Amino acid sequence: MPFKHGRLAEIWLGGQDVSTFFMNADLESVVDTAESTTFKSLWKSFLPGTAMAKLATNGYFDSTLTNVRATLGVAAGSVVTFAPAGAVAIGDLTRSILVNSTKYREGAKIGSLVTFDWDADSTAVAAYGVCLHVMQQESPGTITGTGDGVMTSAQSTTGAIATLHVTAMTGGTQNFKLQDATTQGGAYTDIAAGAFTAVTTVGAQRLVIPGTIRQFVRAQAVIATNPVTYAITVART
């Protein structure tokens, strides 16, 4: 298995690509446990409780990025996608969470850059998935992922979570949806409940899709009027 370098990592926060704002990011998922070990036990036992995911980041302060800092300071219900090795190709691994900011701190010292720390806790299950469309600009027309789709796993019946980040657009109404098929390059059809709400401005959406998802998944976009910069991910649940 080839190792991955972290220098290409990406972070998309709502309708912004904030990758170049950060130098470090750590995502963890944890489950609360309560010990239930009794007398004469040979091994400790535990009862699982509630789960959570947490994103802890560090970055360099840039005084011109006021819109980014404003989002980091609030970020209530923001969609965040973290690609630990970068999302430079269809199928690269991504992790998406719905967050509330819990800490934003700035610091300075002589002889060093001004830094900041940002922590955010997820308010919903973390989606460990793949990239279906990298963060790039597309011209008007119908844009279909890789065409052949990505095998995210065998067919599943428990649904999926998809995220859409639109970071740049000027006018028009854009439509994005997911399709699946049983074979790569086969007959793709729209996934039920797999369409994002029509987009008229920059921002992000998190889509919870119930039911059966076939083996291969791809994203399709219908771009109207002007170019749009966007990225799409999907994770089975």
**Residue 89 buriedness (CB in 10 A; 0-12 / 13-18 / 19+):** exposed
Closest Cα to residue 53, out of 102, 104, 14?
102
Q: Name residues whose C-beta falls within 8 Å of residue 63's C-beta, 6 or more positions apart in sequence.
A: none
Q: Indicate the pLDDT class of residue 234, thresholds 50, 70 and 90.
A: very high
The dihedral over CA atoms of 57, 59, 64, 67, expressed in degrees to the nearest 10, equals: 0
Q: What is the mean pLDDT of residues 75-80?
A: 80
Helix (H) or strand (E) holding 66: helix 66-73
* Beta strand 228-236 pairing with 150-151: unpaired
Structure-token pair, residue 159: 């649904």
Average pLDDT over the chain, rounded to an integer: 91
pLDDT attached to residue 75: 62
Residue 124 confidence (pLDDT) above 70: yes
Q: Indicate the pLDDT class of residue 71, thresholds 50, 70 and 90.
A: confident
pLDDT attached to residue 225: 86
CA 120 to CA 76: how far, in whole Å?
A: 9
Report the alpha-carbon angle 53-57-59, nearest 5. 165
CB atoms under 10 Å from CB of 160, counted, come to 25
Q: What is the mean pLDDT of residues 201-218?
A: 95
Letter for the amino acid at 205?
Q
> Is the distance from CB of 49 to CB of 33 less than 8 angstroms?
yes
DSSP per residue, 5-42: -GGG-EEEETTEE-GGGEEEEEEEEEEEEEE---TT-S
- Bridge partner list, 228: 138, 169
Closest Cα to residue 96, out of 125, 75, 68?
125
pLDDT attached to residue 163: 97
Q: Indicate the pLDDT class of residue 62, thresholds 50, 70 and 90.
A: confident
Domains of the chain from N-terminus onward: 6-30+51-122 (2.40.10), 131-236 (2.60.120.1110)
- Comparing 45 with 71, which gets the higher pLDDT? 45
Residue 10 confidence (pLDDT) above 90: yes
Letter for the amino acid at 145?
G
